[in-house]
Chains A and B, each alone.
Chain A
Amino acid sequence: MPALLNIRNLRVQFGNFPAVDGVDLTLEAGELLGIVGESGSGKSVTMLALMGLIDAPGKVTADAVEFQGRDLLKLSARERRRLIGRDVAMVFQDALTSLNPSYTVGAQIAEVLKAHLGLRGSAARKRVVELLEQVEIPDAANRANAYPHQLSGGMNQRVMIAMAIACGPRLLIADEPTTALDVTIQAQIMALLLKLQREQGMGLIMITHDLAVVAEMAQRVAVMYAGQVVETGAVPGLFDAPRHPYTNALLAAIPEHNKGAKRLSALPGIVPGALDRPAGCLLSPRCPRVQERCRAERPALEDGVRCFFPVEEAAHV
C-alpha cells in the first residue's frame, strides 16, 4: 500500500529566496502528523505548494509529490482541481477572512458539494445542515443562512472544517487552525478535529507552532527550520529524546523546562532570510554544537535527522 502522501525534495523558490529548501515528508492513511516550526520556517508554504496554490513568481519543483500514488506535479490543472477540495482539503488560520463575506456560510459549503459531488437543491441543503451538525454548530439549520461576520471566530472555524470535510477527504491539512482563537475555543476545535479524523479515518496534517498541541495529539511530528525538515519522528520519542540541536533548543525553551531560571534558554541569532543563507548547515551560525564540517556541507535527512552530529542527551532532561 503506497503511503497516503509522499513528498520528496520539495522546493519553492520566490525569486532567489528558497522558502522551502528540500522538504521530505510522508504520511500514512489515517495518521496524524504535526509540523512544527517558527514563523518563516516554510511550513505553510509547503502545504500550499502541495495544494497547488503557489502562484507566480513562486516556482515549485520536487522529485515527487505523490498523493495516493499519483504525482500531483504531473497532473493537469483541471485534474488537480478535481482532487483538491474533495480528496485533499485545507483549513486555514483566520476563518473570518478565509470565508467570503458576501455569501452565507451555507451557500459556501453547498458550493463545494455541487462542484465535486453534483449535489443540488434540497439534497445539498440537507447535507449542509448535516455537516454543520457534525462540526457541532448549534441550531445548524438557521446558522446555515448566516453571513460570516455574524458568527464568532470559533463558529467560523467550524464552518471552514465542515467545508473541508464535506466531500470526505482522505487527507485534511489544518494550517494553524486555532492560533487566531481564544484558548477555551482552541481546545474545542482541536478536540473536534481529532474526533473527525478518527471517525472518517482521514490523514491529518496539523501545522502549528504550539509544541504542547503536537505532543498531545500527533502520532508523528516533523520539525522545520528555514525551509527544511530538520527532524522527524514518533511523538513521545522525539520530545523525550530530541536528536537535532534545533529541536533540542525548542524544547529547552519551553517555560516548563526553565523553572527557576531567570531567562528562557534560547539560541542566539535569528533565522536566515533571503540574503544571509549559509553555504553549510542552515543552523550552523547559531548551533552550540557546530563543527567545521557543518559550516562547509549541508547535511541530508538521514534516519529522521538532518545533522552531522546529532544530540545524544536532551538539554531539558
Chain B
Amino acid sequence: MLAFLLKRLATLVPTLIGITLVAFGLIRLVPGDPIEVMMGERRLDPEAHAALVKRMGLDQPLPVQYADYVGKLLHGDLGQSLVSREPVSKEFAALFPATVELATAALVFAVGFGLLLGVSAGLKRGSLLDQGVMGMATVGYSMPVFWWGLILIMFFSVQLGWTPVSGRIGIEYDPERVTGFMLIDAWLSDEEGAFKSALMHLILPALVLGTSTLAVVARMTRSSMLEVLREDYVRTARAKGLSPARVVIVHALRNALIPVLTVVGLQTGSLLAGAVLTETIFSWPGIGKWLIDSIARRDYPVVQAGILISALTFIVVNLVVDLLYGVVNPRIRGGGH
C-alpha cells in the first residue's frame, strides 16, 4: 500500500513542477513589460522603474527568478495583492473556507442524490423512472450553471421569497469567525436564528453548483449498475438464495460504486470551475469571485495564486481518489496471482 502511494506521488512531481512553471510564467507571458503590466497604466519615471526592477528581482536570470518563486511558495508566500497591498495568502485564507463550504455542500447534495437516482434508474431499466431520471440528468449537465442560478433565484427568491438572493448569512447576524465555515460558526454562536439563516443562504447556491455533478453521478451510477448487474457474480449471489436487497447492496453496488468514485474525483474540477460562476451570481464571498474581480482589476499576483491553488486542490483531490480506489478495489492493491 505504501509503495502504491509513493509511486503515485512520484508521478505527480513533474505535474507539480509544470503547474508552478505555468503560474510563474503567467505574469511574464502577458504581453508587455512585466512592471508596466503590474502597475497598470501608471507611468513610472525611469528611476522608480529601475528601483522596482531591482526590488522585484526582475533583473536576475529567469531560472533564478523561478527558484526564488518556488522558494517563496514553499514558505507559503504567495506574493502581495497589487490592489490591497495585503499578502495574498492572508486574503486567500480568509476567503477559501467559503468556497470549500459551498463546494462541499454541492458535492454532498450531488453525490447523495446522484447515487440514489442512479441506482434506482439502474434497477428499473427502461421504466418510466429510468427514462425520467436519465432525461433530467441529460438536461442537468447541458445547462449553463450561471443561467440555472439566475432562474432559481428568479423563482425561489423573487417569486416565492423562500431563499435570500446573496451572501452567506443575513446581514443582521455576525457570528464570530471560528472555523470560517458559516454553518459551523453560526451553530456555535449564540445568536438566535443564525444557523437557519446560514442554511437558507447556502441551499440555493449549493443546489445550483451541484446540479451538473448530480447529473453526471446519476448517469455514471446507472450505467455502472447496469454493467455490474450483468456480471456472473451477481448471478451467483442470486443462485445462493440471497435476498434481493442483499444482492443489490452487498454484491452489485459495492462494485458499481468503484468507477463512480473516479468520476467524483474528476467532478471536483468542474465544481471548482463552477464555483467561480456560482459565486459571481450569488455574491458568495469565496475565492472564485475574488479571482474574477482580480482579473478585471489586473491584480496578477492574485490570479497567479488562484490558478496555482486551484490546480493543487484538484491534484490533491484526485490523489486522494486514487488512494481510495486502491482501498476499495482489492484487485489493484497488488498481491495478484
Do chains A and B directly touch (beta carbons under 8 Å) in the complex? yes
Could you tell me which A residues sit within 8 Å of B by CB distance?
Answer: 51, 53, 80-86, 89-90, 92, 94, 97-103, 111-112, 115-116, 147, 149-152, 160, 163
Contact of B235 among A53, A116, A147 (CB under 8 A): A53
Across the interface, do B232 and A85 meet the contact criterion of CB distance under 8 Å? no
A-B contact pairs, 28 of them (CB 8 A): A51-B239, A81-B242, A81-B243, A82-B241, A84-B239, A85-B242, A90-B239, A92-B232, A92-B235, A94-B232, A97-B231, A98-B233, A99-B236, A100-B233, A100-B251, A100-B254, A100-B255, A101-B329, A101-B331, A102-B254, A102-B330, A111-B242, A112-B240, A115-B241, A147-B330, A150-B335, A152-B337, A160-B236
Q: Most B CB atoms within 10 A — which of A147, A151, A163?
A: A147
Across the interface, do A98 and B232 meet the contact criterion of CB distance under 8 Å? yes
Across the interface, do B255 and A89 meet the contact criterion of CB distance under 8 Å? no
* CB-CB contacts below 8 Å: B224-269 with A: 231-233, 235-243, 246, 250-251, 254-255
Chain B hits for A102, CB < 8 A: 254-255, 328-330
Chain A hits for B235, CB < 8 A: 53, 92, 98
Across the interface, do A81 and B233 meet the contact criterion of CB distance under 8 Å? no
Q: Given A150-B335, A151-B337, decide whether A85 and B255 contact each other with a Cβ distance below 8 A.
A: no
Q: How far in angstroms is the closest Cβ of chain B from A44?
A: 11
In the assembly, what is the distance between CA of A78 and CA of B233, in Å? 20
Does B61 belong to the interface (CB within 8 Å)? no
* CB-CB contacts below 8 Å: B195-246 with A: 231-233, 235-243, 246
* CB-CB contacts below 8 Å: B158-216 with A: none
Chain A hits for B329, CB < 8 A: 101-102
Q: Most B CB atoms within 10 A — which of A102, A115, A147?
A: A102
Does B63 belong to the interface (CB within 8 Å)? no
Chain A hits for B328, CB < 8 A: 102
Q: Given A97-B232, A102-B254, decide whether A149 and B240 contact each other with a Cβ distance below 8 A.
A: no
Q: Given A100-B233, A101-B330, decide whether A111 and B240 contact each other with a Cβ distance below 8 A.
A: yes
Q: How far in angstroms is the closest Cβ of chain B from A22?
A: 24
Could you tell me which B residues sit within 8 Å of A by CB distance?
Answer: 231-233, 235-243, 246, 250-251, 254-255, 328-331, 335-337
Q: How far in angstroms is the closest Cβ of chain B from A126?
A: 20
What is the chain A residue whose CB lies nearest that of B236? A98
Q: Given A97-B232, A98-B235, A102-B255, decide whether A149 and B330 contact each other with a Cβ distance below 8 A.
A: yes
In the assembly, what is the distance between CA of A105 and CA of B251, in Å? 13
Across the interface, do B330 and A85 meet the contact criterion of CB distance under 8 Å? no
Across the interface, do B255 and A86 meet the contact criterion of CB distance under 8 Å? no
Contact of B240 among A94, A97, A152, A163 (CB under 8 A): A163
Contact of A84 among B233, B241, B337 (CB under 8 A): B241
Across the interface, do B239 and A53 meet the contact criterion of CB distance under 8 Å? yes
What is the chain A residue whose CB lies nearest that of B239? A90
Q: How far in angstroms is the closest Cβ of chain A from B269?
A: 27
In the assembly, what is the distance between CA of A9 and CA of B73, in Å? 79
In the assembly, what is the distance between CA of A116 and CA of B334, in Å? 34
Q: Given A53-B239, A89-B239, decide whether A149 and B233 contact each other with a Cβ distance below 8 A.
A: no
Give 9 closest A-B pairs by Cβ, nearest first.
Answer: A85-B241, A85-B240, A97-B232, A98-B232, A100-B233, A84-B241, A81-B241, A98-B236, A147-B330
In the assembly, what is the distance between CA of A261 and CA of B66, in Å? 82
Chain B hits for A90, CB < 8 A: 239
Known contacts A86-B241, A92-B235, A150-B336; 17 further A-B pairs (Cβ under 8 A) = A51-B239, A53-B238, A82-B241, A83-B241, A85-B239, A89-B240, A94-B232, A97-B231, A97-B232, A100-B236, A101-B331, A102-B329, A111-B250, A115-B242, A147-B331, A149-B330, A163-B240
Q: How far in angstroms is the closest Cβ of chain B from A98?
A: 4
In the assembly, what is the distance between CA of A102 and CA of B254, in Å? 8
Q: How far in angstroms is the closest Cβ of chain A from B300?
A: 49
Chain B hits for A163, CB < 8 A: 236, 240
Q: How far in angstroms is the closest Cβ of chain A from B246?
A: 8
What is the chain B residue whose CB lies nearest that of A163? B240
What is the chain B residue whose CB lies nearest that of A149? B331
In the assembly, what is the distance between CA of A298 and CA of B243, in Å? 41
Chain A hits for B238, CB < 8 A: 53
Q: How far in angstroms is the closest Cβ of chain B from A81?
A: 5
Q: Given A81-B241, A101-B330, decide whether A149 and B337 contact each other with a Cβ distance below 8 A.
A: yes
Chain A hits for B233, CB < 8 A: 97-101
Q: How far in angstroms is the closest Cβ of chain A from B328?
A: 8
Chain A hits for B246, CB < 8 A: 115
In the assembly, what is the distance between CA of A53 and CA of B241, in Å? 10
In the assembly, what is the distance between CA of A86 and CA of B239, in Å? 10
Chain A hits for B236, CB < 8 A: 92, 98-100, 160, 163
In the assembly, what is the distance between CA of A217 and CA of B330, in Å? 38
Q: Most A CB atoms within 10 A — which of B242, B243, B251, B255?
A: B242
Q: How far in angstroms is the closest Cβ of chain B from A216?
A: 27
Chain B hits for A51, CB < 8 A: 239
What is the chain B residue whose CB lies nearest that of A101? B331
Q: Most A CB atoms within 10 A — which of B236, B251, B254, B255?
A: B236
In the assembly, what is the distance between CA of A115 and CA of B251, in Å? 14
Chain B hits for A115, CB < 8 A: 240-243, 246
Across the interface, do B241 and A101 meet the contact criterion of CB distance under 8 Å? no
What is the chain A residue whose CB lies nearest that of B233? A100
Q: How far in angstroms is the closest Cβ of chain B from A250?
A: 28
Chain B hits for A94, CB < 8 A: 232
Q: How far in angstroms is the closest Cβ of chain B from A77?
A: 8
